[in-house]
Structure 1
Amino acid sequence: MFFLINYIEYQLKKSPVLFLLGIALSVRLYNINSPIIGIHSWRQADTAAMARNFYENGFNLFYPQIDWGGNSPGYCETEFPIYSFIVSIFYKFFGVHELFGRLISVTFSLFTIFFLYQLIRTYFNDATAFWSCLWFSILPVSIYYSRTFQPESMLLMCSVGGIYYFNKWLESQKLHLLCISALFVSLACLIKVLPIIYVGLPLLFLAYHKFSHKIFTKIYLWLYSLFIIITVALWYYHAHQIFLEYGNTFGFWGGSSDRYKYDLILKSNFWLQISFRTIVRQFAVLMFPIFIAGLLMKRKTQQEYLFDIWLLSVVLTWILAPTTSLVHEYYQLPFMLPGVVFIGKFFSKYFNKNHQGKNIKKFLAICLSLSILTSFTIYSIDYMSKERANKSKVFQLAEIVKDKIPSDTLTIFTTGGDPTLLYLSHRKGWMINPRDLNEEYIMSKIQLGADYLVGSFDFIQSYKSSLDDMQKNRINTVLSKYPNILHDDSFFIAHLK
């Protein structure tokens, strides 16, 4: 334990940024070759499918394609697919492999740590920046979503980069810094809409702190804001036109979307689940009390309140999009960016040679060691254990599909809203929940070109392990009417002649 502490203190003085990037890289490279399975594989599958479709069907950034569009081209209303497009460029030179998507995510996460370090040291000191970024590098949620095949890692980089360069512009008034910030913030809001809140409010705070009531007279701030708003509005208008023409969407707007069930925020279960994730997966249990202690520490300057505003802004987005925030834990991920700052403040103050309290230093040393152990334990159990291909029923069925079904056919998959099996199978078609499966539905898809029906009795979505008797009976009723290529206790494949 003391060797670890001495080594960290040595690196803090010698080369803190290189040490942080080295630690972050090493933990993120573990199992980097994993296929698209495990936690939130359905989100990764859609992202990976868009990358593969860019590569296979032409690099048209403005028309992203998913695999579950049936006999349509699969163009879909979605967030700006810049991440998938970048991955597809690597596919052009090296071939299709999920490794490149994961490596790109890791690279963005390293830039996130660099920008976060530079931003924190602006308001505090090198020690606070070091401890903050160390915890961002090794806490479970941060590690996992920094190497998944989805744009969250790029989103965090753009969020921090936007705030960092905006602050640099306020200090120097150099116009190119404001332009870089505008580019980063625009990309963040294109990747996800909610950064308008949790990046916009911190930017507003910084601008008001600098210019006070004169903020509305600054032409560059108006141009900056208009650029971001117009860019985002143009993309989402275009994306909605894709939905109107092709009918495929991730459900952003309108009455059909379930993202805005505001009665959820009045239920204790909503806050209990989010609190559990925050305490266990974000702060690895032991760092949560340290986070609270840092939150209660006195602010030395008004500018330090930037991180309070940032923190509250993220919480506000949970309330504004409650269903999304409850179902998708990566919507809590931006909380880590300002959250680790308060841990860093506490360690910086009490875990140094100049501090007289030996007991608290020993306590923090124990917390440091135990938290690293706890973090990696949670990461292994909650995340990495789900990425074992030899134990994944979804992966096993996908291999069977690739062997038994021609690649140019259309298939119905009984996987609800989860496209993981489609992606792993490298097939296109439709998805349906077994409870909605009937002969009328099958016939309607046969008329559209459906050739096969595929699914499992062991899972629906990759995150739902079993079917009830009613769902199994519906499937068996349909299977009895068509030739079965495969029909056992686990999987089924029917040829829809």
Structure 2
Amino acid sequence: MRSLHRPIALLADIRFWVLVLVLVRLIGITNPPLETAHHWRQTTVAMVARNYHEHGIDLMYPRVDMAGERSGITGMEVPLLSAAIAVISGPFGYAHWYGRIIALLLCSAGLLAYHSLVRKYFSDETAFYSTLVLGVSLWFSYGRKIMPDVPSTSLVLIGLAFAAKALQGGRIRLLGPAAAFCMALGTAMKLPSGYLMVLLPAMVLFSPATKRDRWILMGLVCLFQLPVLWWYFSWAPHLDELGGYTHFFMGNGIGKGLQELLHAPIRVLDNFYFDALRFSGAALAVAGLVMAFARRERVLLMIVMLVSLSFFFVMLKAGAAFWKHAYYVVPFIPLLALLAGSALVRVSNWRWRVALLVLVATEGLANQWQDLRISPTQAPLLNLEAALDQLGDRGDLIIVNSGSIPTPLYFAHRKGWTCYRDDLARVGYIDSLTSLGAVWLVQVRKGYETNVPIMAPAAVITEDYAIFRVRP
């Protein structure tokens, strides 16, 4: 009989499912960041890592490749992910997929921390279902991208889990600094992820910890956040001024952000009901919210209120950027997953419960499966570096018709400028860049700006791109 119970026990263990999600996402883990969704965001992280690897790791001075003739120094999030990639690249040689592994490991640890938190304040079943829903949400694909969004949110969740244990077990001296450190790392990697820390005061207030331990924990968290605030509001603007190039988006004013959100309400909602959990998952989250009101579940409703109000401020600061980029909703998905999990627990028939969970997982994974492979449209960029190597030196500056997207520039392994079609068509634009050192112009034919006639000798012409020498 014991042997019959073992498979059932294994299927009920969240660690088994987290491992399954890890193994599935190892498919194509060494792929370059050329999947359809947000390759540009990944290559920005990767180019900073490569510059660290090639020129030395100086965390305080991250450099990008699309600043033209300038140094490339610019303000951004604390480039911890880029630095970690560079550290691993030291003994093993540079490879962008190290970033995927780091993100995947942190995502998995974040799922386990999330499960621990939900189990503490709700139930084992709610924790199990909520974590599974979170695992097959947008976190599935973004949890292996070379981006700080899921890793940063995971670190904040890990910090909150440490805080919960510290408040419960009286181990404030050991777990308090660990909690504060993890939350600081999370906000350093991506400041909006810190909005989840709005839950910490409530956790402290309703904990059995002594008054002294509560003050120690809150003091540690505030202390560890000071360097993060200094970076974002003092050092990052200084880097923009130092490098003469602005890359990082620090948000809009509240009024402008509200106007931009109201301008595209359907796109805003799309981030929640499609990108985050897809339709079935979003429907379960709504059902969970309705049930919470109907049953007057005060703890859950308090969490919904605190997290939603805090996240609404993030949305206001982001403005149009929120509905343009799916990754902005990543830190909010844990709440949606909690609501969906609480709804599943209320389904009395276990067969229906499993069927609903399978539906959510199937829809979620099916809509993200393409992220495990390279986009055919982007694949030709892998040949760009070799083509340019045959024409000139790595130090040659190039112009690429990729709009504001740096992906072709990264795979060319060159520094230079990205531009729009209208820029290239404007009289004198190319000459203005050649005067700054531009040597080559690359016109990518698929997936970016439409091509324009170029009055310069073509060095390479393929069905995927053309390379022109624009400097005599």
Shorter-chain TM-score category?
Answer: 0.7 to 0.9
Q: Which residue of 400, 417, 433 corresponds with 1:413?
A: 400
Deviation digits for residues 350-407 of structure 1, max 9, x if unmatched? Answer: 3xxxx4xx4xx443333233333222221135x446x235763544555543444432
Residue range with higher mean Cα deviation, 408-417 or 79-88: 408-417
* Aligned-partner residue type, residue 336 of structure 1: I
Question: Does the alignment pair 1:149 with 2:137?
Answer: no
Query: Counterpart in 1 of 2:186?
Result: 188
Report if the CA contact (8 A) 2:44-2:64 is conserved.
yes
* Aligned-partner residue type, residue 440 of structure 1: G
Between the aligned partners of 1:58 and 1:397, the Cα distance in structure 2 is 25
Q: Which residue of 65, 76, 79 corresponds with 1:78?
A: 76
Query: Counterpart in 1 of 2:284?
Result: 290
Q: CA deviation at 1:77?
A: 0.9
Cα distance change on mapping 1:137 and 1:50 into 2, 3 Å:
same
Query: Counterpart in 1 of 2:458?
Result: 484
Cα distance change on mapping 1:104 and 1:389 into 2, 3 Å:
farther
Q: TM-score, normalised by structure 1?
A: 0.84
Q: CA deviation at 1:439?
A: 4.7
Query: Counterpart in 2 of 1:266?
Result: 262
Question: Does the alignment pair 1:369 with 2:358?
Answer: yes
Deviation digits for residues 155-189 of structure 1, max 9, x if unmatched? Answer: 12112012222222332441332212211222222
Q: CA deviation at 1:43?
A: 0.6
Query: Counterpart in 2 of 1:279?
Result: 273
SS at match of 1:68: coil
Q: CA deviation at 1:426?
A: 0.9
Q: CA deviation at 1:264?
A: 1.4
Q: How does 1:115-264 map to 2 (within 5 A)?
A: 115-139=113-137, 141-173=138-170, 174-196=172-194, 198-210=195-207, 218=215, 221-234=218-231, 236-253=233-250, 261-264=257-260
* Aligned-partner residue type, residue 363 of structure 1: W
Between the aligned partners of 2:111 and 2:386, the Cα distance in structure 1 is 38
Cα distance change on mapping 1:99 and 1:26 into 2, 3 Å:
same
SS at match of 1:34: coil
Report if the CA contact (8 A) 2:443-2:467 is conserved.
yes
Q: CA deviation at 1:117?
A: 1.1
Question: Does the alignment pair 1:11 with 2:10?
Answer: yes
Residue range with higher mean Cα deviation, 415-424 or 435-444: 435-444
Query: Counterpart in 1 of 2:411?
Result: 424
Report if the CA contact (8 A) 1:102-1:149 is conserved.
yes
Report if the CA contact (8 A) 1:201-1:309 is conserved.
yes
SS at match of 1:371: helix
Cα distance change on mapping 1:488 and 1:21 into 2, 3 Å:
closer
Gaps of 5+ in 1: 1-5, 461-465
RMSD after superposition: 3.0
Deviation digits for residues 65-91 of structure 1, max 9, x if unmatched? Answer: 111122222111111001110011111
SS at match of 1:485: strand
Q: TM-score, normalised by structure 2?
A: 0.88
* Aligned-partner residue type, residue 370 of structure 1: L
Query: Counterpart in 1 of 2:40?
Result: 42
Cα distance change on mapping 1:231 and 1:281 into 2, 3 Å:
closer
Cα distance change on mapping 1:191 and 1:236 into 2, 3 Å:
farther
Cα distance change on mapping 1:179 and 1:366 into 2, 3 Å:
same
Percentage of matched positions with identical amino acids: 23
Q: Which residue of 81, 94, 97 corresponds with 1:96?
A: 94
Query: Counterpart in 1 of 2:107?
Result: 109
Residue range with higher mean Cα deviation, 203-212 or 85-94: 203-212
Count the aligned residue pairs. 459
Report if the CA contact (8 A) 1:76-1:239 is conserved.
yes
Between the aligned partners of 1:371 and 1:190, the Cα distance in structure 2 is 32
* Aligned-partner residue type, residue 185 of structure 2: L
Report if the CA contact (8 A) 2:70-2:244 is conserved.
no
Cα distance change on mapping 1:48 and 1:225 into 2, 3 Å:
same
Query: Counterpart in 2 of 1:463?
Result: none
